[in-house]
Amino acid sequence: MLEDKNPIRTPLSELGEFKLIEHLTEHLKITQKSTILGVGDDAAVLNYENKNAVVSTDLLVEGVHFDLSYMPLKHLGYKAIVVNLSDIYAMNAMPSQVTVSIAVSNRFPVEALEELYQGINKAAELYGIDVVGGDTTSSTSGLIISVTALGAVEKHKEVRRSGAKANDLLVITGDIGGAYMGLQVLEREKEVFKVNPNNQPDLSMYSYIIERQLKPEARKDIVKLLEALGVRPTSMIDISDGLSSEVLHLCKQSGVGVDLYEDKIPLDPQVISTCEEFNIDSTTIALNGGEDYELLMTVSQEDYPKIKGNPNLTVIGYMTEKEKGKHLVTRAEERIPIIAKGWNALNNLT
């Protein structure tokens, strides 16, 4: 998985900045009614009618957020879009446009950027958004991707981090910990590869968790599901830095406490078995792993009948008065204070 399979290498300088942008964006299609003018002018023009606009931005840096030795460029492009869309869904909004800026060193040929854009375009297509702008420039070292996602939400319908109330249910979508354990497997295989480059590992038993790491999906379906169920969460956040970190954000910004039940945290069997293989506690991974891009929300108790039994939504605790603090209730019924140990990009400073 780590070899360079691409024999054609066109130097970036051969095209120049304008031609490169033109080349990379020539296949972009405008599919959204809200896109009045896309790539190719000083700015894009968008029309959100009588809705509010929603905007979020992220910066992905090689060597900090991704490792190209096991992250295919196509997947990286896809992931760069998806992680930004996740922030828009977390507002209970629907994304409709992104801008994508890329800085690259000359070790990347044009073909590498084409591959990156294939992933970007694939995500745009699947999530129904338009790429409406961006910038391509050189970097003195690695690859840097900056994505800004834009979307719309009906007035007063956005769901913030600050609306949780005591007694609200704490609800999570999907399962968590997979992306982090996928990363552990990939890191291990990278070390094996360094020793024996001819080794072709069988990673099929880790397929789910590796996909969670390399090609995560954002929960577009949840925004639609909540609408269909008639449930408006009181607060919501996406899980990018780990469950404990996100729970603490909701608590802090809403001024509430929480009781989170260890035995309720949804884990995929592959996460559990891989945690056993690596001899790591799966709850620690679920709390601190990050990059799962599931949604964490609080829901009023009276909405419980509407979400009960839904396979996409798991109640993992409830919010309390602020004074009661923020606790994990363990399987042994111990109450342990929740501390954010989520992945922190600034701790990786070189």
Binding to a copy of itself (CB under 8 A) within 146-175 occurs at 146, 148-151, 153, 155, 158, 160-162
Q: By CB under 8 A, is residue 33 in contact with a copy of itself?
A: no
Q: Are 282 and 267 in contact (CB under 8 A)?
A: yes
Instruction: Tell which residue, 326, 331, 156, has the closest CA to residue 246.
Output: 326
90: buried, middle or exposed (CB in 10 Å: 19+, 13-18, 0-12)?
buried
> 169: left (phi > 0), else alpha (psi -120 to 50), else beta?
beta
Report the chain's terminal Cα–Cα distance, integer Å.
27
Kindly give the pairing relationship between strand 94-104 and strand 235-238. unpaired
56 is in an annotated binding site: yes
Single residue of 1, 64, 68, 272 touching a copy of itself by CB under 8 A: 64
Single residue of 139, 284, 300, 312 touching a copy of itself by CB under 8 A: 139
Within residues 71-110, the interface with a copy of itself by CB under 8 A covers 87-88, 90-91, 93, 97, 99, 101-103, 105-106
Single residue of 24, 32, 65, 117 touching a copy of itself by CB under 8 A: 65
- Phi and psi for 346 in degrees, rounded to 5? -80, -15
291 is in an annotated binding site: yes
Total residues at interface with a copy of itself (CB under 8 A): 80
Q: By CB under 8 A, is residue 54 in contact with a copy of itself?
A: yes
57 is in an annotated binding site: yes
273 is in an annotated binding site: no
Site string for a copy of itself, 228-257 (x = CB under 8 A): --------xxx------x-------x----
139 is in an annotated binding site: no
Cα torsion 100, 250, 52, 58 to 10°: value is -10
Single residue of 10, 23, 30, 57 touching a copy of itself by CB under 8 A: 57
Q: What string of DSSP letters covers 149-211?
A: EEEEE-TT----SS---TTPEEEEES--SHHHHHHHHHHHHHHHHHH-TT-----GGGHHHHH
Cα torsion 243, 247, 252, 255 to 10°: value is 180
Q: By CB under 8 A, is residue 290 in contact with a copy of itself?
A: no
The CA distance from 252 to 154, in Å, is 26
58 is in an annotated binding site: yes
Q: Which stretch binds a copy of itself (CB under 8 A): 7-15, 183-191, 277-285, 324-332?
A: 7-15
Single residue of 9, 63, 125, 263 touching a copy of itself by CB under 8 A: 63
- At closest approach, how far in Å is the CB of 164 from a copy of itself? 13
Residues 6+ apart with CB under 8 A from 308: none
Within residues 175-234, the interface with a copy of itself by CB under 8 A covers none
Within residues 312-341, the interface with a copy of itself by CB under 8 A covers 340
Q: Are 292 and 208 in contact (CB under 8 A)?
A: no
Q: Which stretch binds a copy of itself (CB under 8 A): 59-67, 114-122, 176-184, 307-315?
A: 59-67
Tokens, residue 182: 């996928």
Annotated binding-site residues for Mg(2+) read 42, 56-58, 87, 135, 238, 241
- Residues belonging to the binding site for ATP are 117, 134-135, 161, 240
In the annotated binding site for substrate, the residues are 65, 291, 343
